[in-house]
Amino acid sequence: MEIPSLFRETRYGMPAADQILPNRNYLIGYSYLFRQPRWAMQVINGTESDVSVDRQDCFRPDLRVPEMFRATLSDYTASGYDRGHLVPSADSNDTRLENSETFLLSNMSPQAPDMNRRTWRMLEAAVRKVALKRDIVEVYAISGPVFDVSKPFSKIGDDVVVPHAFFKSVLIENNKGKINFCSFLLPNKKEDISYLKDCTVSVEYLEFRTGLQLWNRLEGAKVQKAKTKSNLGPIT
């Protein structure tokens, strides 16, 4: 059995990472070099629960990461960057424990405040909304930072590298078996983006920009063609 098959989030593939960190509602691929997640994978819940816990706000280091590669709270203090969730707190609110795990720093990257609180938040909400549609049976998402080797790097704290951009690739399957890939690339800076269509890209382009293999367990000519397309699909 392949190791990725052990986690529900990796049904359609899993990129490489220095350390795999499983949590109750998501999976992290951690980067020792950048001292933050290389990617985060999740299955978006398509049902509305009668029980929703409060946001826990318990930001803390992830002690599973070796200390020399571990981000700490002091890294972000007075840095000018938010502790930006890759898997949002609002996607894990069935129990206090699930919600608490989204505040591990292994799920955080330095995000520009305006981008984190506006555009990234808008995208997260749009993905949750599509998962609730009656004709949608599965929604998977992988998110992560993007580092541009052609540009200078900046750091905060003890060598936590500031990403140049962030990506999110969403796999959506409807009740007729049709799969849509909806992928986005957002600059890590204040930028006037009012519509998600302004930051859509193809899976193929994200693979080029990130060096990651996305949805690599899906095969066939139709899948490969879909990976070259940039579209919003059912996301509005």
pLDDT digit string (tens) for 81-95? Answer: 999 999 999 888 778
Q: Which two tokens stand for residue 159?
A: 């060598």
Q: Count Cβ neighbours within 10 Å for each residue of 63-79 and write b for 16 or more, e otherwise.
A: eebeeebbbeeebbeeb
Number of H helices, E strands in the chain: 6, 11
Domains located in the chain, CATH noted = 3-226 (3.40.570.10)
Query: What's residue 191's pLDDT?
Result: 77
Backbone angles phi, psi at 31, to 5 degrees: -110, 120
Q: Tell me, what amino acid is at 163?
A: P
pLDDT confidence tier of residue 1, bands split at 50, 70 and 90: very low
* 3-state SS record for 65-127: CCHHHCCCHHHHCCCCCEEEECCCHHHCCCCHHHHHHCCEHHHEEEECHHHHHHHHHHHHHHH
The answer to whether residue 131 scores a pLDDT higher than 90 is yes
CA distance 96 to 98: 6
Query: What's residue 179's pLDDT?
Result: 93
